[in-house]
Structure 1
Amino acid sequence: MKERQHDNPAPPEEVIDRVWELADKIDICMLTTWTGKEQRSRPMSARPRRDENAIYFLTDVSGEKNADIEAFPTVSLAWADNGNYRYALISGRAKISNDRAKISQLWSKMDNVWWEDEQDPTIRLLTVVPEHGEIWDSPNAVVSGAKMLIAAVTGTAPELGDNAEVKM
Protein backbone atom coordinates (compact mmCIF):
# COMPACT_ATOMS: atom_id res chain seq x y z
CA MET A 1 0.00 0.00 0.00
CA LYS A 2 1.29 3.42 -0.88
CA GLU A 3 1.62 5.86 1.97
CA ARG A 4 0.06 9.16 1.23
CA GLN A 5 1.22 12.49 2.47
CA HIS A 6 -1.26 14.67 4.29
CA ASP A 7 -1.76 18.27 3.24
CA ASN A 8 -3.43 19.06 6.57
CA PRO A 9 -2.01 16.72 9.20
CA ALA A 10 -3.86 16.36 12.48
CA PRO A 11 -2.53 18.49 15.34
CA PRO A 12 -0.07 16.52 17.50
CA GLU A 13 -2.38 16.55 20.54
CA GLU A 14 -5.17 14.93 18.48
CA VAL A 15 -2.79 12.20 17.33
CA ILE A 16 -1.60 11.61 20.90
CA ASP A 17 -5.23 11.39 22.06
CA ARG A 18 -6.02 8.84 19.36
CA VAL A 19 -2.93 6.71 20.12
CA TRP A 20 -3.93 6.49 23.80
CA GLU A 21 -7.58 5.84 22.90
CA LEU A 22 -6.74 2.96 20.54
CA ALA A 23 -4.23 1.46 22.99
CA ASP A 24 -6.89 1.48 25.69
CA LYS A 25 -9.69 0.05 23.51
CA ILE A 26 -7.73 -2.72 21.76
CA ASP A 27 -6.03 -4.17 24.90
CA ILE A 28 -3.77 -6.92 23.51
CA CYS A 29 -0.68 -5.62 21.77
CA MET A 30 2.45 -7.09 20.30
CA LEU A 31 5.44 -6.19 22.45
CA THR A 32 8.63 -6.20 20.35
CA THR A 33 12.06 -6.34 21.96
CA TRP A 34 15.58 -6.53 20.52
CA THR A 35 17.91 -9.40 21.49
CA GLY A 36 21.02 -7.79 20.05
CA LYS A 37 20.66 -9.99 16.96
CA GLU A 38 16.95 -10.05 16.16
CA GLN A 39 13.58 -8.64 17.10
CA ARG A 40 11.20 -10.78 19.15
CA SER A 41 7.47 -10.09 19.40
CA ARG A 42 4.87 -11.55 21.72
CA PRO A 43 1.24 -10.72 22.55
CA MET A 44 0.70 -9.02 25.90
CA SER A 45 -2.26 -7.50 27.73
CA ALA A 46 -1.53 -3.79 27.98
CA ARG A 47 -2.74 -1.56 30.79
CA PRO A 48 -2.34 1.98 29.43
CA ARG A 49 -2.44 4.80 31.97
CA ARG A 50 -2.25 8.09 30.14
CA ASP A 51 -2.40 10.11 33.38
CA GLU A 52 0.83 8.34 34.41
CA ASN A 53 2.35 8.47 30.90
CA ALA A 54 2.94 4.73 31.06
CA ILE A 55 1.78 1.42 29.62
CA TYR A 56 2.00 -1.39 32.16
CA PHE A 57 2.19 -5.15 31.77
CA LEU A 58 2.39 -7.95 34.28
CA THR A 59 5.08 -10.40 33.32
CA ASP A 60 6.87 -13.37 34.81
CA VAL A 61 10.29 -13.06 36.41
CA SER A 62 11.62 -15.80 34.13
CA GLY A 63 10.48 -14.30 30.82
CA GLU A 64 13.10 -14.08 28.04
CA LYS A 65 11.93 -10.56 27.25
CA ASN A 66 13.25 -9.40 30.62
CA ALA A 67 16.87 -9.95 29.60
CA ASP A 68 16.21 -8.29 26.23
CA ILE A 69 14.76 -5.22 27.98
CA GLU A 70 17.61 -4.97 30.48
CA ALA A 71 20.16 -4.99 27.64
CA PHE A 72 18.12 -2.99 25.10
CA PRO A 73 15.33 -1.01 26.82
CA THR A 74 13.79 0.51 23.67
CA VAL A 75 10.67 -1.48 22.71
CA SER A 76 7.71 -1.20 20.35
CA LEU A 77 4.06 -1.86 21.15
CA ALA A 78 1.63 -2.48 18.28
CA TRP A 79 -2.16 -2.73 18.59
CA ALA A 80 -4.34 -4.00 15.74
CA ASP A 81 -8.10 -3.83 15.35
CA ASN A 82 -8.20 -5.53 11.95
CA GLY A 83 -11.98 -5.63 11.75
CA ASN A 84 -12.15 -1.84 11.88
CA TYR A 85 -8.84 -1.08 10.13
CA ARG A 86 -7.44 0.73 13.18
CA TYR A 87 -3.83 0.40 14.32
CA ALA A 88 -1.62 2.11 16.88
CA LEU A 89 2.09 1.93 17.57
CA ILE A 90 4.07 3.23 20.52
CA SER A 91 7.82 3.02 20.92
CA GLY A 92 9.49 3.89 24.16
CA ARG A 93 11.73 2.93 27.05
CA ALA A 94 10.90 -0.13 29.09
CA LYS A 95 11.97 -1.35 32.49
CA ILE A 96 11.21 -4.34 34.68
CA SER A 97 10.58 -3.84 38.40
CA ASN A 98 9.18 -5.62 41.42
CA ASP A 99 6.74 -2.84 42.40
CA ARG A 100 4.34 -4.93 44.52
CA ALA A 101 1.93 -2.03 45.12
CA LYS A 102 1.54 -1.33 41.39
CA ILE A 103 1.22 -5.06 40.63
CA SER A 104 -1.65 -5.28 43.14
CA GLN A 105 -3.26 -2.15 41.73
CA LEU A 106 -3.17 -3.53 38.16
CA TRP A 107 -4.23 -7.08 39.09
CA SER A 108 -7.39 -8.44 37.43
CA LYS A 109 -9.20 -11.77 37.56
CA MET A 110 -7.83 -12.59 34.09
CA ASP A 111 -4.34 -12.64 35.58
CA ASN A 112 -5.33 -15.82 37.46
CA VAL A 113 -4.70 -17.61 34.16
CA TRP A 114 -0.96 -17.08 34.73
CA TRP A 115 -0.59 -16.68 38.51
CA GLU A 116 -2.49 -17.77 41.61
CA ASP A 117 -2.90 -14.24 42.97
CA GLU A 118 -1.22 -10.84 42.98
CA GLN A 119 1.07 -11.92 45.84
CA ASP A 120 2.83 -14.49 43.61
CA PRO A 121 6.55 -13.67 44.02
CA THR A 122 7.27 -14.48 40.34
CA ILE A 123 5.21 -11.56 38.98
CA ARG A 124 7.10 -8.53 37.73
CA LEU A 125 5.95 -5.18 36.44
CA LEU A 126 6.97 -4.12 32.95
CA THR A 127 6.59 -0.37 32.45
CA VAL A 128 6.90 1.36 29.07
CA VAL A 129 7.22 5.14 28.91
CA PRO A 130 6.12 6.30 25.43
CA GLU A 131 8.45 8.34 23.26
CA HIS A 132 6.81 8.09 19.81
CA GLY A 133 3.34 7.16 18.64
CA GLU A 134 1.71 6.45 15.32
CA ILE A 135 -1.81 5.66 14.15
CA TRP A 136 -3.45 4.23 11.07
CA ASP A 137 -7.15 4.90 11.40
CA SER A 138 -9.78 4.11 8.75
CA PRO A 139 -13.47 4.99 8.72
CA ASN A 140 -14.73 1.37 8.56
CA ALA A 141 -14.41 -1.89 6.64
CA VAL A 142 -17.21 -1.17 4.14
CA VAL A 143 -15.87 2.26 3.21
CA SER A 144 -12.28 0.95 3.05
CA GLY A 145 -13.33 -1.97 0.86
CA ALA A 146 -15.17 0.33 -1.54
CA LYS A 147 -12.20 2.70 -1.76
CA MET A 148 -9.83 -0.22 -2.45
CA LEU A 149 -12.14 -1.48 -5.22
CA ILE A 150 -12.29 1.99 -6.80
CA ALA A 151 -8.50 2.28 -6.55
CA ALA A 152 -8.04 -1.11 -8.23
CA VAL A 153 -10.33 -0.10 -11.10
CA THR A 154 -8.84 3.38 -11.56
CA GLY A 155 -5.20 2.43 -10.84
CA THR A 156 -4.87 5.10 -8.15
CA ALA A 157 -3.76 4.75 -4.54
CA PRO A 158 -6.70 4.47 -2.16
CA GLU A 159 -7.18 6.97 0.63
CA LEU A 160 -7.98 4.54 3.43
CA GLY A 161 -7.85 6.83 6.40
CA ASP A 162 -5.44 8.76 8.51
CA ASN A 163 -1.82 7.97 9.25
CA ALA A 164 0.04 10.23 11.62
CA GLU A 165 3.18 10.07 13.73
CA VAL A 166 3.90 12.11 16.81
CA LYS A 167 6.54 12.55 19.48
CA MET A 168 4.95 11.68 22.80
Structure 2
Amino acid sequence: MFNIGDTIIYSSHGLCQIDAISEKTFSGVTKTYYVLHPLNNEKLEISTPVDNKTISTLMAKEEAEEILNLFTQPGIEWIEKGNQRSQGYSLIAKKGDRKEIATVVNSLLVKKNELENGGKKFPEQDRKLLISMQSILFSELALSLNTTTEAISDKIAHLLDIDEEVIVINE
Protein backbone atom coordinates (compact mmCIF):
# COMPACT_ATOMS: atom_id res chain seq x y z
CA MET A 1 0.00 0.00 0.00
CA PHE A 2 1.18 3.52 -0.78
CA ASN A 3 1.23 6.48 1.60
CA ILE A 4 -0.10 10.03 1.48
CA GLY A 5 2.39 12.16 -0.45
CA ASP A 6 3.70 9.28 -2.59
CA THR A 7 4.02 9.81 -6.33
CA ILE A 8 2.67 6.92 -8.38
CA ILE A 9 1.77 6.08 -11.96
CA TYR A 10 -1.98 5.74 -12.43
CA SER A 11 -3.45 4.38 -15.65
CA SER A 12 -3.83 6.96 -18.40
CA HIS A 13 -3.37 9.89 -15.99
CA GLY A 14 0.35 9.24 -15.57
CA LEU A 15 2.20 10.72 -12.62
CA CYS A 16 -0.12 11.32 -9.67
CA GLN A 17 0.34 12.27 -6.05
CA ILE A 18 -1.68 10.62 -3.28
CA ASP A 19 -3.45 13.34 -1.28
CA ALA A 20 -5.47 11.14 1.07
CA ILE A 21 -6.51 7.58 1.85
CA SER A 22 -10.11 7.14 2.91
CA GLU A 23 -12.98 4.71 3.27
CA LYS A 24 -15.82 5.19 0.78
CA THR A 25 -19.06 3.32 0.32
CA PHE A 26 -20.58 2.77 -3.12
CA SER A 27 -23.61 0.52 -3.71
CA GLY A 28 -23.39 -0.69 -0.11
CA VAL A 29 -19.76 -1.80 -0.44
CA THR A 30 -17.12 -0.03 1.67
CA LYS A 31 -13.56 0.03 0.36
CA THR A 32 -10.36 1.92 0.99
CA TYR A 33 -9.58 4.47 -1.70
CA TYR A 34 -6.62 6.60 -2.71
CA VAL A 35 -7.56 10.21 -3.36
CA LEU A 36 -5.02 11.56 -5.84
CA HIS A 37 -4.36 14.20 -8.44
CA PRO A 38 -2.27 14.13 -11.63
CA LEU A 39 0.91 16.18 -11.25
CA ASN A 40 0.05 18.01 -14.46
CA ASN A 41 -3.47 18.91 -13.24
CA GLU A 42 -3.68 20.00 -9.59
CA LYS A 43 -7.45 20.65 -9.91
CA LEU A 44 -8.43 17.12 -10.93
CA GLU A 45 -9.22 14.80 -8.02
CA ILE A 46 -9.37 11.06 -8.64
CA SER A 47 -10.55 8.34 -6.26
CA THR A 48 -9.48 4.80 -6.94
CA PRO A 49 -9.56 1.63 -4.82
CA VAL A 50 -6.21 0.79 -3.25
CA ASP A 51 -6.34 -2.63 -4.92
CA ASN A 52 -6.56 -1.09 -8.41
CA LYS A 53 -4.18 -2.99 -10.73
CA THR A 54 -3.46 0.07 -12.91
CA ILE A 55 -1.43 1.75 -10.15
CA SER A 56 2.32 1.25 -10.16
CA THR A 57 5.42 2.61 -8.50
CA LEU A 58 7.85 4.92 -10.26
CA MET A 59 10.61 3.20 -12.16
CA ALA A 60 14.09 3.13 -10.66
CA LYS A 61 16.95 5.00 -12.32
CA GLU A 62 18.39 1.72 -13.68
CA GLU A 63 15.09 0.81 -15.34
CA ALA A 64 14.79 4.31 -16.79
CA GLU A 65 18.26 3.99 -18.31
CA GLU A 66 17.33 0.55 -19.71
CA ILE A 67 14.19 2.03 -21.28
CA LEU A 68 16.15 4.90 -22.84
CA ASN A 69 18.49 2.31 -24.34
CA LEU A 70 15.50 0.69 -26.08
CA PHE A 71 15.39 3.77 -28.33
CA THR A 72 18.68 2.63 -29.88
CA GLN A 73 16.92 -0.51 -31.17
CA PRO A 74 14.07 -1.05 -33.62
CA GLY A 75 10.62 -0.49 -32.14
CA ILE A 76 7.60 -2.73 -32.39
CA GLU A 77 6.51 -4.08 -35.76
CA TRP A 78 4.43 -1.51 -37.68
CA ILE A 79 0.86 -2.66 -38.36
CA GLU A 80 -0.31 -1.27 -41.71
CA LYS A 81 -4.05 -1.29 -41.02
CA GLY A 82 -4.89 1.76 -38.90
CA ASN A 83 -7.67 0.25 -36.80
CA GLN A 84 -5.66 -2.91 -36.02
CA ARG A 85 -2.62 -0.78 -35.18
CA SER A 86 -4.64 1.47 -32.90
CA GLN A 87 -6.24 -1.47 -31.08
CA GLY A 88 -2.97 -3.39 -30.74
CA TYR A 89 -0.91 -0.44 -29.54
CA SER A 90 -3.69 0.73 -27.17
CA LEU A 91 -3.79 -2.72 -25.62
CA ILE A 92 -0.05 -2.48 -24.96
CA ALA A 93 -0.55 0.93 -23.34
CA LYS A 94 -3.30 -0.44 -21.08
CA LYS A 95 -1.10 -3.32 -19.90
CA GLY A 96 1.34 -0.73 -18.58
CA ASP A 97 4.62 -2.54 -19.34
CA ARG A 98 6.99 0.40 -19.74
CA LYS A 99 9.41 -1.45 -22.00
CA GLU A 100 6.61 -2.43 -24.39
CA ILE A 101 5.25 1.12 -24.26
CA ALA A 102 8.72 2.44 -25.15
CA THR A 103 8.87 0.18 -28.22
CA VAL A 104 5.48 1.48 -29.38
CA VAL A 105 6.50 5.12 -28.80
CA ASN A 106 9.72 4.36 -30.68
CA SER A 107 7.83 3.03 -33.73
CA LEU A 108 5.26 5.83 -33.69
CA LEU A 109 7.96 8.53 -33.52
CA VAL A 110 10.00 6.96 -36.32
CA LYS A 111 6.89 6.59 -38.55
CA LYS A 112 5.77 10.16 -37.76
CA ASN A 113 9.23 11.47 -38.70
CA GLU A 114 9.25 9.41 -41.91
CA LEU A 115 5.78 10.56 -43.00
CA GLU A 116 6.27 14.24 -42.16
CA ASN A 117 9.67 14.35 -43.89
CA GLY A 118 7.95 12.85 -46.93
CA GLY A 119 5.33 15.60 -46.90
CA LYS A 120 2.57 13.29 -45.60
CA LYS A 121 0.30 13.67 -42.61
CA PHE A 122 0.66 11.42 -39.56
CA PRO A 123 -2.73 9.71 -38.86
CA GLU A 124 -4.77 11.47 -36.17
CA GLN A 125 -5.49 8.32 -34.13
CA ASP A 126 -1.75 7.54 -34.08
CA ARG A 127 -0.98 11.13 -33.06
CA LYS A 128 -3.39 10.97 -30.11
CA LEU A 129 -2.04 7.62 -28.97
CA LEU A 130 1.55 8.83 -29.31
CA ILE A 131 0.92 11.98 -27.30
CA SER A 132 -0.79 10.04 -24.51
CA MET A 133 1.86 7.31 -24.25
CA GLN A 134 4.80 9.65 -24.77
CA SER A 135 3.58 12.15 -22.19
CA ILE A 136 3.35 9.58 -19.41
CA LEU A 137 6.56 7.73 -20.37
CA PHE A 138 8.70 10.85 -20.81
CA SER A 139 7.42 12.39 -17.54
CA GLU A 140 8.26 9.26 -15.62
CA LEU A 141 11.69 8.96 -17.28
CA ALA A 142 12.41 12.59 -16.41
CA LEU A 143 11.42 12.12 -12.78
CA SER A 144 13.39 8.86 -12.44
CA LEU A 145 16.50 10.39 -14.05
CA ASN A 146 16.14 13.73 -12.25
CA THR A 147 15.87 15.76 -15.44
CA THR A 148 13.21 17.46 -17.58
CA THR A 149 10.81 16.05 -20.15
CA GLU A 150 12.45 18.38 -22.68
CA ALA A 151 15.85 16.79 -21.98
CA ILE A 152 14.31 13.33 -22.37
CA SER A 153 12.70 14.40 -25.67
CA ASP A 154 16.01 15.75 -26.96
CA LYS A 155 17.84 12.57 -25.93
CA ILE A 156 15.27 10.30 -27.61
CA ALA A 157 15.25 12.40 -30.79
CA HIS A 158 19.03 12.01 -30.88
CA LEU A 159 18.90 8.24 -30.20
CA LEU A 160 16.27 7.73 -32.94
CA ASP A 161 18.02 10.18 -35.29
CA ILE A 162 14.77 12.03 -35.92
CA ASP A 163 13.83 15.71 -36.09
CA GLU A 164 13.24 17.15 -32.61
CA GLU A 165 10.06 18.85 -33.89
CA VAL A 166 8.51 15.40 -34.38
CA ILE A 167 8.29 15.00 -30.62
CA VAL A 168 5.36 17.01 -29.29
CA ILE A 169 6.04 17.80 -25.64
CA ASN A 170 2.93 19.58 -24.38
CA GLU A 171 -0.33 19.73 -26.22
Same fold by TM-score, threshold 0.5 exceeded?
no
TM-score normalised by structure 2 residue count: 0.26
TM-score normalised by structure 1 residue count: 0.26
| Higher RCO (CA < 8 A, seq sep 6+) | 1
Report which of the two has the higher share of helix. Answer: 2
